[in-house]
Structure 1
């Protein structure tokens, strides 16, 4: 573990670590090779995207098959891990990246009991998805490569306990072909709780069809112990200023996932918006954070510095040109003179568009940045009081009491981006958005511009269908 920490450098990759015979991995051996800071962070971010989406699926009460299919698709996109039989694929490279990302996230999430708990739960779910999807031959090969300390039940013991074992088996005609393994009952608490195993003398008799429960629990226990060991050595790592910022940022990943949304304008041919359109767009398409900023601006005719920066960058990425931005902000600050506006605000507007100062093309803030801000203006789901948030959900979106209670439950569990995603689904149900679809492909909201773009695209699609029906 700590060779990784001590050997991270900017010299490139010199791989001389272990080989990876299986996709399934208990991550016993840390990566013992040099990596660039970029690879260090990239491997972790791609894995964090998957883990955050797993947690999001759980918070949204998605069924197991839905979660499994969604996460499998996300893994293909961000964390591919092909079978040993796959041809023309760098399997070693994929497995090396998988292992590196896991160990980097161990460093980020070992820091508190709460982070460790959430990391273990998400990682165990990812392992289960991979285990269930694995080819039976490769699965047996993996199981045979480890010592799980289970005791095979021989035919004599099986016959001796046949009457009791049959009470836990739904297909008596297959009993003769079933194999059993004995483990201490504390290793399969889920099976004991659901009364799916026979208990005798402190042993649980686990049929082969339930063997996976032993494996999952072993993975979970193994990871919990390793995280505690990692936590004891964290002070040494904090001395490395190159990594501390990266790990601090990663540890916030469960708050709002990892956004892949392009936070800077990328398509010069994309339709632009005008200053006079923003009032209507805010009501129809803005997420709660940006709609709150717009409402404060309209009510007070001002926003503080961070509010102007956050909202201004959002509008920029949405398609508001610098010329239109100046028009919008000038009309919004209608209680000051032109001279005061030009002196105090015009330069900053141009600066945010990369036309002044160091001329950087500043990106819009992601949900994670907004959630971890001071809270002014911040994310309503995190920074509003319970009463204010309830009131805002009703007054802003007209949510029913049942919908409000559902959203508030996710807020109480600190799944703020899930709450925002659920609001999107509820308010766009008339446009065909169903529970669990999120902003497209089942994905959760991770960026305000992602929310707005999905809403605007849905409205455009409905308009085009309506026009086609009229023409037809």
Structure 2
């Protein structure tokens, strides 16, 4: 078996030696290497690639078993070439298609096929998606054991293949692969054609007209890697599907380009799926979305703007489901200009439609006709995706401490707490059960020596005996939020609702101050917002208690506050002193 597999390995190595990218941005090949590669392909058999073993797995797929789909077995590929096998059932046809700027080898390894090859001779009309070309047609029957066929960018670049007298399989090597961008050329996508009669040339040569068409609905492939037992990962709404999507969104939070790609791709997929659903399927999906929205509100604590969105979304879904327009709208022949049914939604639900002036505005709401409901659902889906990704916000440090009995940063070292008091404090905290903290399995009972050493080390009494300090504001602000984070700077990472919970009751009752704080936060950053809050709170304390504050903050300007407060521990200790005086 090792020697049989080595034939494929040797062939692929020859393919890599033959097709290489040049400095001019095109794939080049050496004639001698190409001839050597063709000799190896001519000698290849179905046994060399374990064809029957692959087919036994592929036949488990209902699409292939029912002879509806073409089989596809991927062998090797890189950016310069691909090598794969296609399997056709009896009388099954691979439609006429082209190979833009590509060179290829086709070797039949099972059964017989009829190949209709077409060589380009000129355009009758050149329009994107509907071109008509003139070609010279050649027909040949090729069977197992016959030499391989070759196509080039200028000869036999178009072909169709039909299986004869039973199942047939052929090896296909192409360079460069489809969807490759070649300098000076368009992306080499696969285009499909149909014959449209003949044309006689003045010299008597008969040419065949090929009319460009869209991808045929009855042509699709089943890859070897898609066995039925793996379909559970693709079942819509399953636990694996939802978990996988959650993990994908979680990863995308740290990768802006991936996040942008994910949002764009998911929206395009949603639009495509929506076009394939009838009205009853759309209604069922809306009811599912309605149930999920209610679950989020009932079993979680979403941020304020997400919660408002969900309440409006529930009302929006209920109106569509209860309206008679759903049966009228989601039909294949429904016009995009139809205005028989109207739906009123907040303008934020369809910003793209508003920017394109496709809907009317009335008192802050958009009046969306039924012809635009598909676009409306797409806008709502994208907004829901964005809010769902923003929901992964970590809570602040002390909420994590009380919930998890765990905290990463030793903040009390900067507020004058003696070492023995710190040990006593943390022994009480870490002696509690940490069932809410999955990232830490330690406890004071079994790890007290480690904790005591760590605390003494931070106080400069162990190890290198250096003086340590807790993280400063700048360090906290630079930390990226993650699911295991303990918050961050409230003035940088919190939304308005969460920030208000952190503010002193005496100042957050002033709406004008809150508006100013939010404005400063958005326009000038977290540090300026923090200074504004400190100054306002100190003034409030002086006015409410009618006492003279200490010189430190009573005479402090904004610039002095910026210099005085540079870490979370200084912020809390300084302000707490004046609050309690």
TM value normalised by structure 2: 0.25
When you count helix as a share of all residues, which structure comes out higher?
Answer: 1
Please state which structure has a larger fraction of its residues in strand: 2
In our comparison, the structure showing a higher alpha carbon Rg is: 2
User: Normalised by the size of structure 1, how large is the TM-score?
Assistant: 0.30
More RCO (CA 8 Å, sep 6+): 1
